[in-house]
């Protein structure tokens, strides 16, 4: 599939078929994540692959917008570790790029995915730290349920010319 078609047809998928997702596909999306740009090539990301049904089913108890996880066969938790880098404050941007790469790779492979935000919500981060034994200096950032989508990917128009500014915010400058 062409990259622009992947981008244009990527959607937040919240309903999944009752089919497993192979280790090979998980590895492929994680490889894509690790090709994301990062400040100073610090690569502050870590990924927790969650397949255990009991763990997946506990997530909505501390993340109120994650009920789709109850149908997913697997999820990836993207975590950021700002320690040791020259630009530690950029871990959020770096993990955002890695998360976007996961979403795009999943779409390219025919998988459905959705970005369920975790950081900076303290309750959600604490829940993941407890559930997955994540150290206090590592930040749970984004939860990405993955699965075979129920239904088709449909392209919708999101391009909005009025959001583009030339040279300045207001337009012409004399």
pLDDT, tens digit (0-9, with 9 covering 90-100), for 14-69: 999 999 999 999 999 999 999 999 999 999 999 999 999 999 999 999 999 999 99
Domain contains 171: no
pLDDT, tens digit (0-9, with 9 covering 90-100), for 118-131: 999 999 999 999 99
Q: Please give the C-alpha separations between residue 156 and each of 11, 46, 100, 138, 160, in angstroms, as whole numbers.
A: 9, 32, 18, 36, 12
Report the CATH number at residue 112. Answer: 3.40.109.10
> Taking the model in full, what pTM does it have?
0.94
Domain contains 155: no
Domain contains 38: yes
pLDDT of residue 173: 54
pLDDT, tens digit (0-9, with 9 covering 90-100), for 78-92: 999 999 889 999 999
Domain contains 174: no
Domain contains 164: no
Domain contains 161: no
Domain contains 46: yes
Q: Structurally, how many domains does the chain consist of?
A: 1
Domain contains 24: yes
Domain span at residue 42 reads 3-149
The answer, yes or no, to whether residue 168 has pLDDT greater than 60, is yes
């Amino acid at each position: 599939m062409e990259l622009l078609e992947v981008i244009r047809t990527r959607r937040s998928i919240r309903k999944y078929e009752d089919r497993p997702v192979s280790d090979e596909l998980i590895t492929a999306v994680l490889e894509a994540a690790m090709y994301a740009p990062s400040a100073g090539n610090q690569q502050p990301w870590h990924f927790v692959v969650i397949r255990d049904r009991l763990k997946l089913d506990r997530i909505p108890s501390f993340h109120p917008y994650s009920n789709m996880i109850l149908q997913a066969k697997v999820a990836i938790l993207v975590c950021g570790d700002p320690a040791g880098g020259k630009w530690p404050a950029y871990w959020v941007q770096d993990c955002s790029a890695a998360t976007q790469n996961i979403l795009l790779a999943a779409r390219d492979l025919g998988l459905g995915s959705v970005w369920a935000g975790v950081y900076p919500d303290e309750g959600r981060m604490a829940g993941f730290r407890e559930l997955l034994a994540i150290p206090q200096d590592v930040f749970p950032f984004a939860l990405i349920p993955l699965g075979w989508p129920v239904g088709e990917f449909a392209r919708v128009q999101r391009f909005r010319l009025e959001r583009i500014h030339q040279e300045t915010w207001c337009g012409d400058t004399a």
